Amino acid sequence: MGVATTVQEYLDNRGVLYDVIEHAPAESAMRAAQAAHVPGDQMAKPVLLGDDTSYLLAVVPATHRLDLDRLNQLTARSLVIMNEDEMEVAFADCDRGALPAVGEPYGIDTVVDTALLKAEDIYFEFGDHQHLIHLKGEQFRKLTQDVHRAQVSHHL
């Protein structure tokens, strides 16, 4: 399918400065970080959650595990991790399992783990399994300034 045009247009329309990094095909955020030779703690891993009301995209470092109990407590919801069929519906222009770390262009509320806000550089999948977006930390913080930020993960 290639890179997600929804994400590309979203970044371009907001004047976000980014680079695209091509890498060998990888099926997970951590493996993509390894293939692209970038630190796993700077790789943003999106997790699509949902309940009877709506979706929520939680974005955590690839070296971390989402703390679903904490997130449910913070949001006063009963979120569960969505399956790949739901991901395909929510992110229609992305390859199966290659979600970007931004939910806004898809109409999905997002929470970013505070651990990512300290990083000098941030990387995330660009809608396929062979391209990453690279943002300087300040560009990522600017991009996510209007989303909820909280500690919602812990190191593996």
Q: Phi first, then psi: give them for residue 53, nearest 5 degrees.
A: -90, -55
What CATH number does the domain containing 80 carry?
Answer: 3.90.960.10
Structure tokens at 82: 């969505």
- The Cα–Cα gap between 25 and 128 comes to 9
Q: For the segment 43-64, what is each residue's pLDDT rounded down to a tens digit?
A: 999 999 999 999 999 999 999 9
The pLDDT of residue 2: 63
- The Cα–Cα gap between 75 and 155 comes to 21
Structure tokens at 79: 């979120």
pLDDT (tens place) for every residue of the chain, 156 residues total? 467 899 999 999 999 999 999 999 998 999 999 999 999 999 999 999 999 999 999 999 999 999 999 999 999 999 999 999 999 999 999 999 899 999 999 999 999 999 999 999 999 999 999 999 999 999 999 999 999 999 999 998
Please give the residue range of the domain that contains residue 47. Answer: 5-155
Q: For the segment 81-97, what is each residue's pLDDT rounded down to a tens digit?
A: 999 999 999 999 999 98
The pLDDT of residue 156: 81
Report the domain count for the chain. Answer: 1
**Cα four-point dihedral sign 13, 17, 20, 26:** negative
Contact 99, 125 (CB under 8 A): yes
